[in-house]
């Protein structure tokens, strides 16, 4: 059963990064979930709740608006449970993710943006409209579904607490729907209110502004497109009371960090994981960390979902491409 394989992901101390930044650094490796991202947890909670409440008959269609990962988790679980899936992704979704979605039998609709329910071209508006006008279709709606925060409150948060034997002092987590940081943050602060919960978003996303000013920016925003993180609105899946600070990073710094990490540690980071590490690198001075602190970085997915976008120019990949081309010629 797939559901038993979801969650309980590894958490490892990264000794080299710990030495470099002078603090104990642990990585919560969410790409070990069966759907290869943290979003398996959320999809499972949302779908089981919908089924429990008789929202969708067997064989019906789960509909979701997603940067890709939630969609993949919904499609995978739907397939296992005997349902169909229809996933609305924005133009920024990587080709690799679209292909995985289709492999799980999802029908994929590519939309202009993911700017929330008020924008007629957005994934959320179109997904909601489709579900409302279609028989036997249910919109899981991760941006406003309380199961999003609950999944992380019930699973990811307790796992981090237990895996660090209650010694976690700081977490640094990317913010998209805000569900991960809100669920993890709520749980950890209940266990120990002095734990600091730090968020990461791309430059010009609205969470940092909202946290400081308690309102949205007056001007329309366009944030750097780092897949999975960043927002132009504050979704219902974000609990502002769980977050102490939000740090912003650029697309370029995240990309550079991904390449540096690959060269040094032979691992391909997901885009938002690279952003988390880039935020640590840029803002560590503002994080007020002591050598005895235990900082957990959450890595939601892996770099093989971003080969084209993030690693195309990277020497491993381009070298492999040349080798493949030569092999065909011979």
Q: Which residues bind ligand PMP (CB under 6 A)?
A: 37, 39, 67, 69, 174-180, 227-229, 270, 272, 300-301
CB of 66 to ligand PMP, least distance (A): 7
CB of 59 to ligand PMP, least distance (A): 28
Which residue's CB is nearer to ligand PMP, number 24 or number 69? 69
CB-side exposure of 223: number of CA atoms within 13 Å?
27
Which residue's CB is nearer to ligand PMP, number 159 or number 301? 301
Which residue's CB is nearer to ligand PMP, number 60 or number 303? 303
Which residue's CB is nearer to ligand PMP, number 60 or number 178? 178
Contact partners, residue 186, CB within 8 Å, separation at least 6: 149, 153, 157, 239, 242
Instruction: Give the span between the Cα atoms of 318 and 270, in whole angstroms.
Output: 18
DSSP letters for 245-309 = EEEEE-HHHHHHHHHHHHHHHS--B-HHHHHHHHHHHHHHHHH---TT-EEEEEE-SBGGG-HHH
Residue number with the smallest Cβ distance to ligand PMP? 228
78-85: which pairs have CB atoms within 8 A and are 24 or more residues apart?
78/47, 78/104, 78/105, 78/106, 79/104, 79/105, 80/2, 81/47, 81/51, 82/58, 83/47, 83/56, 83/58, 83/59, 84/59, 84/60, 85/61
Which residue's CB is nearer to ligand PMP, number 60 or number 179? 179
CB of 251 to ligand PMP, least distance (A): 14
What is the three-class DSSP state of 23?
coil
CB of 57 to ligand PMP, least distance (A): 28
CB of 328 to ligand PMP, least distance (A): 33
φ/ψ (deg, to 5) at 170: -145, 145
Quickly tell me which residue has 């490796």 as its tokens.
29
CB of 178 to ligand PMP, least distance (A): 5
Instruction: Give the span between the Cα atoms of 177 and 239, in whole angstroms.
Output: 10
CB of 179 to ligand PMP, least distance (A): 4
Which residue's CB is nearer to ligand PMP, number 69 or number 124? 69
What number of other Cβ atoms are within 10 A of residue 175's Cβ?
A: 26
Which residue's CB is nearer to ligand PMP, number 60 or number 209? 209
């Amino acid at each position: 059963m797939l559901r038993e394989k979801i969650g309980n992901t590894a958490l490892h101390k990264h000794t080299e990064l710990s030495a470099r930044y002078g603090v104990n650094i642990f990585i919560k490796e969410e790409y070990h979930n069966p759907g290869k991202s943290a979003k398996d947890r959320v999809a499972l909670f949302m779908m089981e709740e919908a089924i429990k409440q008789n929202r969708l008959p067997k064989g019906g269609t789960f509909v979701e608006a997603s940067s890709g990962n939630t969609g993949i988790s919904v499609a995978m679980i739907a397939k296992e449970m005997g349902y169909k899936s229809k996933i609305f992704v924005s133009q920024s979704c990587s080709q690799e993710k679209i292909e995985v979605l289709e492999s799980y039998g999802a029908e994929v609709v590519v939309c202009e943006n993911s700017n929330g329910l008020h924008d007629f071209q957005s994934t959320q508006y179109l997904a909601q409209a489709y579900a409302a006008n279609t028989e036997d279709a249910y919109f899981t709606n991760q941006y406003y579904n309380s199961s999003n925060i609950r999944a992380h409150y019930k699973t990811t948060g307790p796992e981090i607490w237990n895996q660090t034997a209650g010694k976690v002092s700081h977490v640094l987590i990317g913010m998209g729907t805000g569900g991960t940081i809100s669920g993890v943050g709520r749980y950890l602060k209940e266990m120990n209110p002095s734990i600091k919960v730090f968020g990461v978003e791309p430059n010009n996303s609205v969470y940092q502004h909202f946290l400081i000013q308690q309102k949205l920016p007056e001007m329309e925003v366009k944030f750097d497109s780092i897949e999975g993180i960043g927002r132009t609105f504050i979704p219902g899946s974000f609990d502002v009371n769980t977050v102490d600070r939000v740090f912003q990073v650029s697309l370029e710094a995240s990309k550079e960090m991904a390449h540096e990490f690959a060269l040094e540690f032979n691992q391909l980071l997901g885009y938002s994981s690279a952003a988390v590490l880039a935020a640590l690198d840029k803002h560590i001075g503002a994080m007020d960390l002591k050598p005895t602190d235990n900082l957990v970085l959450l890595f939601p997915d892996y770099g093989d979902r971003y080969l084209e976008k993030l690693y195309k120019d990277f020497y491993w990949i381009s070298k492999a491409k040349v080798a493949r081309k030569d092999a065909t010629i011979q």
